[in-house]
Amino acid sequence: MKALVTGAAGFIGSHLSERLIDSGATVTGLDCLTDYYPREIKERNMARLRRAPRFSLVEQPLAEADLDALLDGVTHVFHLAAQPGVRKSWGRDFRVYTANNVEATQILLEACAGKPIERLVYASSSSIYGDTAAMPMHEDARPQPVSPYGVTKLAAEQLCHLYHVTHRVPAVALRYFTVYGPRQRPDMAFARFFSAVRRGEPVTMFGDGRQTRDYTFVADAVSATMAAATRGTPGGVYNIGGGSRVELLNVFELIGQVTGRPLRIERLEAQRGDMHDTCADTTRARTDLAFAPTVTLDEGLRAQYEWMSAVHA
């Protein structure tokens, strides 16, 4: 396999790139290392990759890259590059999301049209569902996102389908459900919770704590992504969930057990764009991709906390 991974310096992208290298693939990473969070964190994500002889990084925005050259000889494309964050996607910043999530995806798909690529795997999100889908969420449910971020992820997903239908680009979309684990972005919930506990500060809780999420450990998300590259049906969409749907209040209990420190909770109003519940129906992924999550929430939280403690020791 010769792979192009967009967003290779990010949380999931760096784990995926390492797994690809370990499997014998040659990987070109494309990442513009935006200032959404500090560059030093992304460099730390890539520390092992930088030493790998079959990995190279092109530091450039996707829209400015020479994609014809980058795609030369590539067998698989993994499109993980995106502007993340539900709460920051409102207002004037929306233009950043449309540029990085929608326009960049169209540019990549256009470049892939007519090339002998075996699969293009697109990292979508459970944010596309919104709050009206029945539980557990099935891929055929009507998408009705409640955040501008979710709108852009859905738009990019639709572009993947469009380019499959019209140009036979073998695109497969994966709807990740709340991925966590080592290297999680500092703005994401578990990273913020653990950081607050380590500093002895209150943990911020938006809403009443009764909201639920289907938490997916990063290694399981990567396994699904690898499987989609060979087993995914072109034009298809798959839910990728960890099978650990838990209330936020229960997460705080688990974090207290993992850290051995009591949590002080500061409650704030629910934030616009935050979905109240998510739960993935993964039947399709189990059938087509042989996807079966292996890491429990307790195990995953311990792994993330141990990693954060080692990094900040």
The catalytic site residues sit at 149
3-state secondary structure 117-158: CCEEEEEEEHHHCCCCCCCCECCCCCCCCCCHHHHHHHHHHH
Phi then psi dihedrals of residue 104, to 5 deg? -65, -35
Q: How far apart are CA 10 and CA 207, in angstroms?
A: 28
Contacts of 273 (CB under 8 A, 6+ apart): 86, 87, 89, 90, 146, 147, 148, 149, 150
Of 271, 256, 84, 97, the closest CA to residue 179 belongs to 84
Q: Do residues 261 and 199 touch, judged by C-beta distance below 8 A?
A: no
Radius of gyration, alpha carbons of the chain? 19
